[in-house]
Structure 1
Amino acid sequence: MALLFCDGFDHYDTAHGGEKWDGFNANIQSGGREANCLFAGFRQGVTKNVPNSAALIVGAAINPIDYGTELLAFQDAGNTQVQLILTSAGALQIQDGNGNVLGTSASAVVKTGIWQYVEISTVFSATGSATIHVNSASVLSATGINTIPSGNSYANGVGLLGSGDGTSFDDVYICDGTGTVNNNFLGDVKIVLATPNGNGRVNQFSRTGGTSAGNYTAVDDNPPDDDTSYVSSATAGQIDAYTITSIGSVASIKAVQLVASSRKDDAGSRVLALGFGNGTTESYDSGHALGNSYTMLLRPLDQNPLTSAPWAATDLASGQLALEVIS
């Protein structure tokens, strides 16, 4: 795995933020680079849990209101290993979780009131390293630094932070540096939303709400409308598939992330798999155990799972999203 998570903040509202992030105290609002963005004000922020990772790479478009603010933290069980600070001089500074300065860029590498794309790659070790890019240009590289005040040579959480008057975030990605694809800086990327716009090759789930046009009308809501319209099935092996909206003209596709807001409504265990198809067949993951409350199930895909090749725009133009009941 290389891509662990991405978010363009365009497919849900503030009320549903906790379905995608493990900690959510912020606001989804208009004014992003594409449509919406995340705004974290004073003492606000969001957190995403990830597997224990010896290295993490995070990119995000940021638009800070003022200088002298926290931007990002790598965490181990909620304790900060490394944090990224925007100083009063417009420099980016790396600190450990105890506030010790590990490296500082030149001044004025980040400005207030405009969007710029910031990426940080960190290796977690007593002799670790951190590199920062702004708009795809390197502004800081620090080596031989202690990035593990917890004593554990990994991080398992990423936080986007707000302090001062706050910061807006958009087009966020998290990679873990493993594998052969998406294992380094991705550069200034845009997260583009594609939603169901038609019934796919098979529709075996039952529809509640939506319209007689088909099952897709019960799952195309943005933001999610929870129990107002949905599809459901209690039968293992049943599949529901949907065609998707066009993403328009793109130069390249780094990765695709499947998302489904799902829950179970009865006792016992339920497992739902997320699939990507081409209208003839699908490739599914091993499945996700459902809880009683809605959660956004995620499946990041560095390559087309049907071909094991890099993504092409034509893959999505003819692609379908699919759900399968495992149990």
Structure 2
Amino acid sequence: MTFRFCDGFDSYTTVANLTAKWSTVAGASFAATAGRFGGGAVFNSGSGLNLLLTKAVTIPIGSRVRLAMSLKYSAGTVAYGLNSGNPLLAINAQQICGFTSLGLIVVTSYGGGTAMLTSSVAVNDGNFHWIELEYYLNGASSTAQLFIDGVSQGTYTGSLGSQVAISSVSFGMGYVFSGTGWLDDAIVWDDQGSSFNTFPLGPRRISTLLPNADGDLAQFTPKTGTSHFAMVNGGYSSTNYVSDTGTGNVDLFKFPALAYTPTSINLVVGYFFGQNTGSGSTSLTPKLKTGGTTISGATQTLPVGTYTVTQAPFLTDAGGAAWTAAAVNAMQIGMGD
């Protein structure tokens, strides 16, 4: 498995909700309709506000880490320039990509802030741009590739830094001196494994779907009433839930159709927000049903007394076929115990 994380920023209502999925959040504001396709996005505005979202990951040493996002700066936005303390992208809290005062994106050495590769196009034009970076630490044989809107900005080969395991990735805006920056549709993956390991992906769109009906199995217990889906589609601040004290039960949920028809779909990721209210060990097993077949994702352990988000990536439909819009529109996702 090479997919590590994604966020379309459409499941939030306030900036405080971001801590459900991100390990740390700094300098961020949230706008529910400012995203690339009209959904949510995080932004910063004004002098010196340095947005930075960090996610803990486990990427082994020797991997080619890939980071992608939709990025927008208001026309004429001016940055402080390359500043290792305020990165555009970072791994292990070390800058690997920055934003210059001229609106160019720069790949840097690992934490050093030294420019190694600079984009040929500026992105401070008031439009969203799809940014993809592959970064490979391997001493003097390190490499980096930068793409903007699917167009190569060049490849660097040389010394970026020594090999390290990657325990965190960060998405930021650099140090904005004037203007506003927005961030949407962030993805993290690498070159390990046999699936979801290509680069570049090309411009991507993350669609966030919330349950809108009960599925074929409804064996958990709703907090109130008889509707299961209505207990789990209320967002991170909702006090509703479904629960179960037994084993072997499953809740499945249906979802609205996609608002558009994509030409290709990389994967579907189920995100689950839950906790263990007891004192022992409690697990959650993600479920996916398509075409009459139900499969299980990797079992997740729920923490005691603390809500947390767990993720379950499904690279194919339940029958093992590549995802299509029709399969997504008819899928059911849920969980079992």
TM-score under structure 2 length normalisation: 0.86
SS of alignment partner, residue 212 of structure 2: strand
TM-fit CA distance, 1:179 = 3.2
8 Å contact from structure 1 (residues 124, 154) kept in 2:
no
Higher mean alpha-carbon deviation, 110-119 vs 188-197, is at 110-119
Q: 2:10: which partner in 1? A: 10
Amino acid at match of 1:20: K
8 Å contact from structure 2 (residues 68, 132) kept in 1:
yes
Amino acid at match of 1:204: Q
Q: Does 1:259 align with 2:271?
A: yes
Question: Can you list the C-alpha shifts for 1:258-289, whole angstroms capped at 9, x where unaligned?
Answer: 11111121212211111111274421123111
Q: Distance in 1 between matches of 2:118 and 2:292?
A: 53
Q: Does 1:192 align with 2:207?
A: yes
Aligned identity (percent) is 22
Q: 2:131: which partner in 1? A: 118
What is the 5 A alignment of 1:75-224?
A: 75-76=91-92, 79-80=93-94, 82-96=95-109, 97-106=111-120, 108-126=121-139, 127-148=141-162, 152-162=163-173, 163-164=175-176, 165=178, 166-183=180-197, 184-209=199-224, 211-212=225-226, 214-221=227-234, 223-224=235-236
8 Å contact from structure 2 (residues 293, 319) kept in 1:
no
Q: 1:251 to 1:71 in 2, by over 3 A?
A: farther
8 Å contact from structure 1 (residues 279, 320) kept in 2:
no
Q: Distance in 2 between matches of 1:178 and 1:218?
A: 37
Provide the aligned length of Structure 1 versus Structure 2.
Answer: 313
Q: Distance in 1 between matches of 2:30 and 2:301?
A: 27
- Structure 2 unaligned spans of 5+: none
Question: Can you list the C-alpha shifts for 1:18-66, whole angstroms capped at 9, x where unaligned?
Answer: 1101112223213111211122451331101211241111111101242
Runs of 4+ in 1 over 3 A off after TM superposition: none
Q: Distance in 2 between matches of 1:9 and 1:174?
A: 14
8 Å contact from structure 2 (residues 287, 296) kept in 1:
yes
8 Å contact from structure 1 (residues 55, 155) kept in 2:
no
Q: 2:256: which partner in 1? A: 245
Q: 2:64: which partner in 1? A: 55
Amino acid at match of 1:12: Y
Q: Distance in 2 between matches of 1:275 and 1:295?
A: 18
8 Å contact from structure 2 (residues 34, 41) kept in 1:
yes
TM-score under structure 1 length normalisation: 0.89
SS of alignment partner, residue 78 of structure 2: coil
Q: Does 1:278 align with 2:290?
A: yes
Question: Can you list the C-alpha shifts for 1:106-165, whole angstroms capped at 9, x where unaligned?
Answer: 3x43224221111101112112111100100001210122233xxx43323211123225
Q: Distance in 2 between matches of 1:198 and 1:267?
A: 32
Amino acid at match of 2:153: V
TM-fit CA distance, 1:99 = 1.9
Q: CA RMSD in A?
A: 1.9
Q: 1:28: which partner in 2? A: 30
What is the 5 A alignment of 1:270-309?
A: 270-278=282-290, 280-291=292-303, 292-304=305-317, 306-309=318-321
Q: Distance in 2 between matches of 1:260 and 1:215?
A: 14
TM-fit CA distance, 1:224 = 2.9
